[in-house]
Amino acid sequence: MKAHHNGHEHEFEPEYGLPEKLPQDERILWQGSPDTALVFRHVFHARGLAVYFGLILLARGGQHYADTGSLPQAMAAALWLVPVFGLGLLLFWAMAYLVAKTTVYTLTSRRVAMRIGIVLNLTLNLPLTRMQAAQVRPLTKRSPDEDGPGEIALILHSDDKVAYPHLWPHARPWQFAHPQPMLRALPAVKGLGQLLTKAWQANQSGQSADVAMAQPRGAVNAIASTRGRPPLANAPARQDGVNDMEPA
């Protein structure tokens, strides 16, 4: 079978986003990657950086005006820093682009796989049976019936740990003692959260691994596989599955 890839470094993947072919009794339910703009805005905090750089410009211009009393000179002293700060923002955007380009999240009927890493790639296999719960963090405020961008934190059992430096930036912020892998900066998370709940419940109850079955014809999932797989029906979420965090 022809390998799927999105660059030279991944052209020999036996299965796109995965280090090896899946067993016959396991199937891919969803695959996706972070959105570059969302990574730039919410992972690298582009707005905060812009505000910080703006305050530095104002402080420098104000200080120069206080020293010289000349508004044109004060503006000139501040404006020469604009290209420097612009380059800084461009570098952060390039980092966001590389994070989005090299990351593939995969939900199968048995696990969540995370292919991460810009220079050194690694793939984390997180069995659904080893997850206590998951939480959705919307990135924008919206009504419960609306879909939108967000992130999903995966809460593992206490004896299963992945080092925070290995995960970053695919980790829930500020969870250092018990790092939580996080599917970050996704364009839409509602359908994925419901699908993850359904798969998790099936694994916890020991049901068949093929949990994406018998969906109504024409059912639409806003975040069905980015590889062109058919849409999956939305399953009703339960409180012991994927719950909401506060909006970022």
Model pLDDT, residue 241 = 53
Domain range list for the chain:
26-33+105-244, 42-98
pLDDT band, very low/low/confident/very high, at 73 (cuts 50, 70, 90): confident
Model pLDDT, residue 161 = 86
CA 10 to chain centre: 19
Of 30-39, 125-134, 139-148, give the range with the top mean pLDDT. 30-39
Percent of the chain past pLDDT 70, that is, above it, reads 77
Model pLDDT, residue 115 = 95
Closest CA to 164 of 178, 150, 185: 178
Paired residues of 111 in beta bridges: 127
Model pLDDT, residue 91 = 96
Model pLDDT, residue 205 = 80
Mean pLDDT in residue range 75-98:
92
The model carries a pTM of: 0.78
Please tell me the distance from the alpha carbon of residue 33 to that of residue 167, in angstroms, as a whole number. 15
The CA-CA-CA angle for residues 31, 176, 185, to 5°, reads 30
Model pLDDT, residue 151 = 96
Residue 14 C-beta-side C-alpha neighbours within 13 Å: 5
Model pLDDT, residue 125 = 94
Mean pLDDT of the chain, nearest integer? 80
Q: Which of 89 and 147 is assigned the larger pLDDT?
A: 89
Q: What is the pLDDT of residues 114-128, one digit of tens each?
A: 999 998 889 999 999
Closest CA to 134 of 193, 195, 203, 178: 193
pLDDT reading at 1 higher than 50: no
Mean pLDDT in residue range 133-139:
91
Mean pLDDT in residue range 29-34:
95
Please tell me the distance from the alpha carbon of residue 9 to that of residue 6, in angstroms, as a whole number. 8
- Dmax over Cα atoms in the chain, in whole Å? 77
Q: What is the pLDDT of residues 220-242, one digit of tens each?
A: 233 333 333 333 333 333 344 56
Long-range contacts of 170-177 (CB under 8 A, 24+ apart): 170/103, 170/114, 170/116
